[in-house]
Each structure stands twice: as C-alpha cells, then as structure tokens.
Structure 1
Amino acid sequence: MRRFLIPALLIASPAVAQPPLFDPAGYRIAHYRAPVRQAPAGVGRIAPAAAAQLVPGRDALFIDVLPAEGGHREADGRWRLVAPHESIPGAHWFPEAGRGAPGPGIDAWFAQGVARLTQGRRDRMLILFCRADCWMGWNAAKRLRAAGYTNVWWLAEGTDGWNDLKKPLSRVEPAGGATP
C-alpha cells in the first residue's frame, strides 16, 4: 500500500503557477534580464556603433532606465543610492522608469522629466537603454512612444554594447538628484 501513496500525492499536488511575463498593455513585468528580439511597435532599433556617432544632448537625448540597485526614491523625489551608477556620458538616468509597472510617482516623474528635457518637442530623438538582454529599455521606449513621442530609438545592447565598442562610461546621478 505504501508504494502507491507517494505517486498519488505527486499527481494530486497542484502545479506552481508562474507569474505572467507581460501585463495586458504588453509591458514586460517580470524576468527583465532575458533576450529581447525586436523593438516595440513604432520604435526604431539603433546599433551601438550608430549611437556612438551621435552627440548626447545635441543630436539625441540618451535616456538610461536601469534601476538604482539597492537604492530607492524618497518621498521628496531625491534618490538614496547605495552604489554609483555609470552610464553613457551625457545620458539622463531615470532609475526604475523601465519597469512594466513603475512604483508610485515614477511614471509621472519620468514623463515630466522627458517633457522638460525635450522642451515639449515630441519629435526630439530619444535613445532608451539599460543593458544587453534587458527589457527595461524596451518598456521605456514603448512607454514614450505611447505618450506620443515620434522619434524613439531603442539601444538594445545598452551600456554593455557601449563598453564593447571600448567607449567610456561616466558616473551619472538620477534625474532630479541623489542624496548621499
């Protein structure tokens, strides 16, 4: 009788449900470090070598959305960081803005920050990125395209691709500032 009890328990046990990878709007909400095959609809994909030919701030706005590892945003909007962040020189860093469901206040902070940087020009060239095989740059590019920006590009290889070109990275602070 004991021989049959274990297999019966295995068959009767419920399967562990996996969380969904995407929300109903198509934003990636889990397992952000995974291969990404194509840019979101209406967004161009730019190669690292092509991006390296542009001057940040003049030719395009480079927007980094990698999270602040271990850091968090205070109620007053300043960021508490536990480690410095290096990015493409001249990039504007909006930590957490690439999440599928950004935390409270992040969406508005991101939208207002980009509107300020573009001076309201929806046709300004925007290059969104994080790291290679990271859905956060993809999400942020999709979000800005949905907000009506018409010249949105996704640098799929992110800072990893920039590094592969032997281009330097430089320390950046979150848009709006950080606290020690």
Structure 2
Amino acid sequence: MKAVMRILLMTTLPVTVHAQEPRLFDAAGYRAAQHRGPVHRAPEGVGRIAPVALAGLRPDVDAIFVDVLPAEGGYRQDDGRWRLARAHSTIPGAYWFAEAGRAAPPAAILFAFQRRIAQLSGGDKSRMIVTFCLADCWMSWNAARRLRALGYRNVWWLAEGTDGWRDLGLTLKPVDPER
C-alpha cells in the first residue's frame, strides 16, 4: 500500500507543481509575471531599434525616450512624488516612468503615464517613441504594447535597454521618476 501511495504521489506531483506556476501573460496580452527573461520579438506593430541607432537620435527632437524600469523598493506617494530605495540612471534625455511597464499598473500611474506621453508628444500619435528598461526585461515590451493600444503609431522598443547603451561605452545620467 505504501509503495502504491509513493507512486501516486510521484505521478501527481509534477501536475501539482505545474498548476501552481504563475500565468506569464494576463488576459489583455501583457506580461504579468517573471519580467526578467529573454524577449524574442517586439510587440505587434512595434519596431525594434538597436542601441547604436538610438545613439544617433536626439531626445525630444527625433524621439521621446521612455524608460520604464520599476522603482524596486520604492513607491509613489499620493501627491505623485516618489520615495526611492535607490537612485536610477538612464539614457540622457529619457523620461523615467517607474512602474508603467507592469501588466496592470495602479490606476494613478497608468493615468499619469498616458497624460504625460500625450503632453510630450503634443498629442501627435505619429511621434516617434522609444521604450526601454534593462536587457531581457518585459517591462519595456509591455509599455510599447500599451502605447500601440493607445493609438501611437511610431513606437520602437530597445530590447537591450540601458545595458545595451552602456555596452556601447555611452554614459547614463541620474534621473528622477516622472510624477
């Protein structure tokens, strides 16, 4: 009887473990779990830009640079200011929208992201926007997908993120999150 129980336990254990794995994508198609990992292609309707190509663009002139690295250990206060656990450096000229790359960011963060992008683009949905985070980070993929869903037509994704920028020997600049 004990041998039968062990066999049953061994055959059902993998199914139980598999059933407990988090869903990687939510119903809307945004990556909702395990945000650090290889990302093999840009979201539908979004172009992929190489770090060297981005280095040839002028921020706020040729494109809006959007960093969506999460504020790990930090949080957004009710007045929109951030309390950070550590400083962040980004590509010069980029705007840091902490937490805007989550599958379902809090409503206040999502609203602030949408409003500020509309301001930065002057309401021009054809304005070039480049999203990034770190290499192998789904947050920038989510942000690019979200911008496409909002009707922006010239969205690009820097898969290598700030890591790729640094790998070119280019410097990063300290930045505060957008309020």
Q: TM-score range by the shorter chain?
A: over 0.9
Q: What's 1:15 paired with?
A: 16
Distance 2:120 2:112 in 1: 12
**Secondary structure in structure 1 of the residue aligned to 2:152:** coil
Residue pairs, 1:1-180, within 5 angstroms:
1-11=1-11, 15-16=16-17, 17-176=20-179
Distance 1:162 1:4 in 2: 58
| Per-residue deviation, 1:11 | 3.7
| Per-residue deviation, 1:147 | 0.3
**Secondary structure in structure 2 of the residue aligned to 1:82:** coil
Which residue identity is paired with 1:99? R
**Secondary structure in structure 2 of the residue aligned to 1:154:** strand
RMSD: 1.4
TM (norm. structure 2) is 0.93
TM (norm. structure 1) is 0.92
Distance 1:142 1:8 in 2: 44
| Per-residue deviation, 1:12 | 5.0
| Per-residue deviation, 1:3 | 4.3
Distance 1:3 1:29, change over 3 A: same
Greater fraction of residues in helix: 2
| Per-residue deviation, 1:168 | 0.4
5+ residue gaps in structure 2? none
5+ residue gaps in structure 1? none
Distance 1:6 1:136, change over 3 A: same
Structure 1 outlier segments of 4+, above 2 Å: 1-14
Distance 2:34 2:21 in 1: 11
Distance 1:100 1:3 in 2: 45
Range moving further from structure 2, 81-90 or 8-17 = 8-17
Amino-acid identity (%) = 57
| Per-residue deviation, 1:8 | 3.6
Distance 1:102 1:116 in 2: 20
**Secondary structure in structure 2 of the residue aligned to 1:128:** strand
Distance 1:5 1:26 in 2: 40
